[in-house]
Amino acid sequence: MPRVTDSPTSVSHGKQMSDREGVLELSYSYDIKSVHNGNDDPKGFGHICISVDKVPAACERHADAGYRLLNDHMATTDMETYKDKDESLEFYQEIFDMTLKHTTEHAEDGFNSYFLGYGNYENEGKSRDADGASYARDEGLLELTWHFGTENEDSKVYHSGNSAPEGFGHICVSVDDITATCERFDILGVSRQKRLMDGPFRVAFIFDSDGYYIEIIQNKRYKPAGHEVQGKQFSP
């Protein structure tokens, strides 16, 4: 099977990285000897997910290649676990203007999953029973998983992956005007990890309601990022 890096059928075909709907960033740190995936204590990040044309065929291909299969998923998502569903949904819908695309309820297993993202399609908000897996057509969804009762815990429940044991780093949101966005964060009282003008790179990091990192970058479709290196402006 040929490996296609930018399929003509992709929603984001031909677009610059900061203007694409879904990009996976892999970061290698020289001083880290092992990583924590967030699925064992301390828990936090859950998984990434890739939508495919035929799940059985894809699973068979990966099994033949020697990869261990844990479960079948069908969406293009990044999943994180959250303490309080109402607080988390409000954060992403109000602060980032995301839309709740889809909800799956797993009462027998004690958790629900909420899929948020951008863009429009005719089935927003419908359940899996009514809608099948139509939300899998979207690229770059954020899946928030809430385990029943965690909102009643007094202390922090989940681990962000940015302190020992290290693993998951952050999600990233590309914006039309990064300066205006950061000014809005100040007005809304959003907690910062890195302010826009700190350091040589014109990116910002904030904390969400559970302490996960969110990187904010400039969408270069609208204007350059304006990084500074040794006092000189450049737009890579």
Which residues are registered as beta bridge partners of 51? Answer: none
The rounded distance, in Å, linking the Cα atoms of 140 and 157 is 25
The residue length of the chain stands at: 236
Whether residue 80 lies in the annotated active site? no
CB count in 10 Å sphere of residue 117: 23
**Helix spans in 10-124 (H):** 55-64, 85-90
**Is 80 flagged in the annotation as binding?**
no
Reference 140, options 18, 5, 28; nearest CA is 18
What type of residue sits at position 37?
A: N
Edge to edge, the sheet with strand 111-117 lists 45-49, 77-82, 141-147, 111-117, 99-106
Distances (CA, A) of 68 to 43, 62, 65, 193: 21, 8, 9, 36
Cis peptide upstream of residue 165 (ω within 30 degrees of 0): yes
The rounded distance, in Å, linking the Cα atoms of 193 and 211 is 10
**Is 170 flagged in the annotation as binding?**
yes
**Active-site residue (options: 87, 166, 215, 228):** 215
Sign of CA dihedral 132, 97, 46, 110: negative
Q: Based on C-alpha coordinates, what's the Rg of the chain? A: 19
Residues annotated in a binding site: 143, 170, 215
Which residues does the annotation mark as catalytic? 215
Residues annotated in a binding site for Zn(2+): 143, 170, 215
